[in-house]
């Protein structure tokens, strides 16, 4: 993507909308995306930092006047410089607090969308982090009114969930002129931020107003990071920032920018949803549409609703992609007819394993495994069709070979050449030569003996007629030959039935493998999902415990005691998750096993029962 493009804009009626051109670009990104959004007051140099993250000096518009240059939310998708297989999506937002615009509600929605869409949020300000700077960040105090985690929860219940879903937070302070010292001792920029967010004791209205933005930042975002930047160049050159080269900028400023970029590249994670699913570009586009549609309809964006909407779209897409992959690879790798059912089975098994992996990797929140069961049914149906085509193609090929190798025999039969003394022996010799040639040739597939048996069965009466007409044989010799013909016919029928049974048995085995593979990959995914949920709970719990410790140390005993409710709830969630994860897995496995009963053929139904039984092991 050579340059940024507008992602979210306002239409002629003033309603937010997602730009189609941006969605088309996101649709092409199938890699996980690391989404970094920057917010802040207008004319604070946000776009410069985003250009540097893109590895460019130009891109996002830099303003040199009091006018805000960026309108809406602009997007720039670039290859991630350090995370292989990831795309870095940079979102530069419209400057907040533009006096010409004068629309605080619009600003709050921009701020909220930046949080909802990003995995790392950068807040950019000028000067120092003082009370004035924090008052300008009042948008954070309104998040409970503009973002819901779950529909139906009270605002105070919503806020306790924010830390689990909100991005990491980075505060960048431009034109910083103070010394990073506290009581004569050097401190880090992170310690500077922590000091600025320290709560003030007391319960007056003024104190509450002072504490509110600080409390929201402390309770909603973890981890938090801070970078301070000296003034990049002289006052005279500031209006030419877009044309300046690195040589025109102060070395200290360039080092600070380098440190900031390095931190973002290393620590900003891929945007994830429930179950730890990493969003691709196309999924990010769907998410943006979902949130903007809610805002345009006068609703509050709800994370759970967005998950539901996105999962429906993504799971259907995952089924299609997995099925298309299977069909494409089978078409590329299978040459019908195969010599044996096992040859087709081996190709099918390998391709099916990858198809299931494509679905498992791309799906999430698959309630009752409906979409996985749909894929299982579809793969089963396509494979069955391959098996039928294999049989029919082989049958045609076998008949063609029989027609060729038995052609001389057929010609002599039409002439009646064998209806004479000694003719039976010649007929048998010609027939055996043709059978030997037929069996020696390759390429006519898995129906070889069945089609041969059908052909010989049709000629059985002719053989007996030739035998009866051969007066050179005694009655005793003819009886011996009749018994031999009967035995050979029985043996040929046995070989044909054995070939059929082997084919059916392999198809049943294929179904068992298919459902074992689905069970295995689902089980592994659910274990990963549980581990991710446990890690996230630990992260939030540790952050809450740290915040509670801070409250106790600074005299906020009542608030620390109220926070204990959140901590207890998190501990209960963690305990419940540890106790129920195995039963959740077993329920999912049993759902697949039960569904298998309805579309597995014949003996394959036992596989469904087997999966149901196996799932009970995990209860």
What contacts 501, CB < 8 A, 6 or more positions away? none
Confidence of residue 227 (pLDDT cuts 50, 70, 90): very high
Report the Cα 116 to chain-centroid distance in Å.
19
State what percent of residues in the chain have pLDDT above 90: 50
**Tens digits of per-residue pLDDT, 186-219?**
999 999 999 999 998 888 899 999 999 999 999 8
Report the Cα 577 to chain-centroid distance in Å.
23
| 58 is a domain residue | yes
Confidence of residue 612 (pLDDT cuts 50, 70, 90): very low
Q: Kindly tell me if the per-residue pLDDT of 571 is higher than 50.
A: yes
Decide if 560 contacts 595 (C-beta within 8 A).
no
| 27 is a domain residue | yes
Region for 71 from its dihedrals, namely left if φ exceeds 0, alpha if ψ lies in -120 to 50, beta otherwise: beta
Decide if 173 contacts 228 (C-beta within 8 A).
yes
- Pairing assessment for the beta strands 181-182 and 87-93 based on DSSP bridges: unpaired
Q: Please report, for the domain that includes residue 256, its CATH number.
A: 3.40.50.300
Unique residue bearing structure tokens 């795309």: 87
CA–CA dist 490, 486 (Å, integer) = 6
**Tens digits of per-residue pLDDT, 423-440?**
999 999 999 999 999 999
Decide if 363 contacts 318 (C-beta within 8 A).
yes
CA–CA dist 302, 364 (Å, integer) = 18
Helices 605-615 and 475-553 meet at what angle, rounded to 10? 30
Unique residue bearing structure tokens 């596989």: 607
Angle at 439 between CA 435 and CA 440, to 5 degrees: 115
What is the per-residue pLDDT for 407?
A: 96
What is the per-residue pLDDT for 608?
A: 46
Residue 139 DSSP class:
G
Reported as half-sphere exposure (CB side, CA atoms, 13 A), residue 136 has a value of 20
Decide if 136 contacts 182 (C-beta within 8 A).
no
Residue 302 DSSP class:
B
**Tens digits of per-residue pLDDT, 27-39?**
999 899 999 999 9
SS3 40: strand
| 459 is a domain residue | no
Decide if 377 contacts 604 (C-beta within 8 A).
no
Angstrom CA distances, 187 to 179, 181, 195, 216, 529, stand at 9, 5, 10, 24, 39
Angstrom CA distances, 225 to 38, 188, 252, 438, stand at 14, 10, 19, 78
**Tens digits of per-residue pLDDT, 490-546?**
998 999 899 889 988 998 899 888 888 888 888 888 888 888 888 888 888 898 898
What is the per-residue pLDDT for 276?
A: 72
What is the per-residue pLDDT for 157?
A: 58
What is the per-residue pLDDT for 603?
A: 38
Q: Outline where DSSP puts E strands in 83-212.
A: 87-93, 120-126, 168-174, 181-182, 185-186
Nearest to 213, CA basis, from 122, 316, 138, 288: 138
- What number is the average pLDDT over the span 594-616? 49
Confidence of residue 617 (pLDDT cuts 50, 70, 90): very low
SS3 31: coil
Q: Kindly tell me if the per-residue pLDDT of 610 is higher than 80.
A: no
Decide if 208 contacts 261 (C-beta within 8 A).
no
Unique residue bearing structure tokens 């039928």: 388
What is the per-residue pLDDT for 95?
A: 81
| 439 is a domain residue | no
Number of structural domains found in the chain: 1
What is the per-residue pLDDT for 68?
A: 47
Q: Kindly tell me if the per-residue pLDDT of 155 is higher than 60.
A: no
pTM of the model: 0.80
What is the per-residue pLDDT for 606?
A: 45
Among the listed ranges 85-99, 112-126, 246-260, 336-350, which one has the minimum average pLDDT value?
85-99
Structural domain boundaries, residue 80:
5-146+158-275
Reported as half-sphere exposure (CB side, CA atoms, 13 A), residue 481 has a value of 20
CA–CA dist 84, 315 (Å, integer) = 25
Unique residue bearing structure tokens 């085509």: 389
| 289 is a domain residue | no
Confidence of residue 584 (pLDDT cuts 50, 70, 90): low
Q: Name the average pLDDT for the chain.
A: 86
| 202 is a domain residue | yes
Alpha helices in 131-174 (DSSP H): 131-136, 143-146, 155-165
State what percent of residues in the chain have pLDDT above 70: 88
| 85 is a domain residue | yes
CA–CA dist 122, 114 (Å, integer) = 9
Report the Cα 596 to chain-centroid distance in Å.
24
Decide if 471 contacts 307 (C-beta within 8 A).
no
Burial (0-12, 13-18, 19+ Cβ within 10 Å), 322: buried
H/E element, 569 = helix 557-596
**Tens digits of per-residue pLDDT, 309-326?**
888 999 999 999 999 999
What is the per-residue pLDDT for 602?
A: 46
- What number is the average pLDDT over the span 252-278? 90
- Enumerate long-range contacts of 342-349, CB under 8 Å, 24 or more apart: 342/506, 344/386, 344/387, 344/390, 345/506, 345/507, 345/509, 345/510, 348/383, 348/386, 348/510, 349/510, 349/513, 349/517
* CB neighbourhood size of 592 (10 A): 21
| 31 is a domain residue | yes
């Amino acid at each position: 993507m050579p340059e940024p493009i507008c992602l979210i804009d306002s239409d002629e009626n003033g309603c937010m909308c997602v730009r189609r051109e941006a969605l088309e670009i996101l649709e092409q990104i199938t890699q996980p995306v690391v989404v970094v959004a920057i917010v802040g007051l207008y004319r604070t140099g946000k776009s410069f930092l985003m250009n540097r993250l893109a590895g460019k000096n130009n891109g996002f518009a830099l303003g040199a006047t009091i006018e805000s240059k960026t309108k809406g939310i602009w997007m720039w998708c670039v290859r991630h410089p350090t995370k292989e297989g990831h795309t870095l999506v940079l979102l530069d937002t419209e400057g907040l607090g533009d006096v010409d615009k004068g629309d605080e509600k619009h600003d709050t929605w921009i701020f909220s969308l930046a949080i909802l869409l990003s995995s790392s949020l950068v807040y950019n300000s000028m000067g120092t982090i003082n009370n004035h700077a924090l008052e300008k960040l009042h948008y954070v105090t309104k998040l409970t009114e503009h973002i819901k985690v779950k529909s139906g929860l009270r605002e105070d219940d919503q806020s306790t969930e924010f830390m689990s879903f909100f991005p990491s937070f980075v505060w960048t302070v431009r034109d910083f002129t103070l010394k990073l010292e506290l009581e004569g001792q050097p401190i880090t920029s992170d310690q500077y931020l922590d000091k600025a967010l320290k709560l003030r004791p007391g319960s007056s209205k003024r104190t509450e107003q002072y504490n509110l933005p600080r409390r929201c930042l402390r309770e909603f975002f973890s981890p938090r990071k801070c970078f301070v930047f000296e003034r990049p160049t002289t006052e005279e050159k500031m209006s030419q920032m877009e044309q300046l080269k690195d040589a025109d900028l102060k070395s200290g400023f360039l080092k600070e920018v380098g440190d900031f970029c390095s931190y973002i590249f290393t620590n900003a994670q891929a945007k994830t949803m429930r179950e730890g699913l990493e969003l691709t570009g196309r999924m990010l586009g769907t998410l943006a549409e979902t949130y903007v549609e809610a805002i345009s309809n006068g609703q509050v964006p709800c994370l759970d609703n967005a998950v539901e909407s996105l999962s429906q779209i993504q799971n259907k897409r995952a089924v299609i992609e997995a099925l298309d992959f299977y069909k494409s690879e089978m078409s590329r790798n299978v040459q019908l007819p195969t010599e044996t059912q096992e040859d087709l089975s081996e190709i099918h098994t390998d391709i099916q394993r990858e198809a299931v992996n494509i679905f498992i990797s791309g799906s999430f929140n698959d309630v009752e495994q409906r979409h996985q069961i749909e894929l299982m049914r579809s793969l089963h149906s396509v494979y069955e069709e391959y098996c039928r085509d294999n049989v029919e193609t082989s049958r045609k090929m076998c008949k063609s070979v029989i027609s060729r190798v038995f052609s001389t025999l057929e010609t002599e039969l039409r002439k009646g050449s064998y209806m004479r003394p000694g003719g039976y022996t010649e007929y048998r010799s010609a027939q055996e030569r043709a059978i030997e040639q037929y069996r020696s040739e390759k390429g006519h597939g898995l129906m070889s003996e069945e089609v041969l048996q059908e052909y010989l069965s049709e000629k059985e009466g002719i053989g007996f007629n030739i035998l009866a007409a051969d007066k050179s044989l005694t009655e005793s010799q003819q009886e011996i030959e009749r018994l031999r013909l009967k035995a050979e016919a029985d043996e040929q029928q046995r070989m044909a039935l054995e070939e059929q049974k082997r084919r059916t048995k392999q198809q049943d085995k294929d179904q068992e493998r298919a459902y074992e593979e689905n069970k295995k990959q689902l089980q592994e995914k659910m274990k990963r999902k549980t581990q991710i949920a446990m890690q996230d709970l630990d992260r939030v719990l540790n952050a809450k415990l740290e915040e509670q410790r801070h409250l106790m140390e600074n005299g906020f005993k009542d608030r620390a005691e109220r926070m204990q409710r959140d901590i207890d709830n998190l501990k209960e969630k963690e305990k419940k998750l540890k106790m129920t994860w195995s039963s959740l897995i077993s329920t999912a496995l049993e759902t697949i096993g039960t569904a298998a009963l309805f579309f597995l053929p014949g003996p394959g139904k036992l596989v469904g029962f087997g999966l149901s039984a196996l799932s009970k092991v995990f209860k």
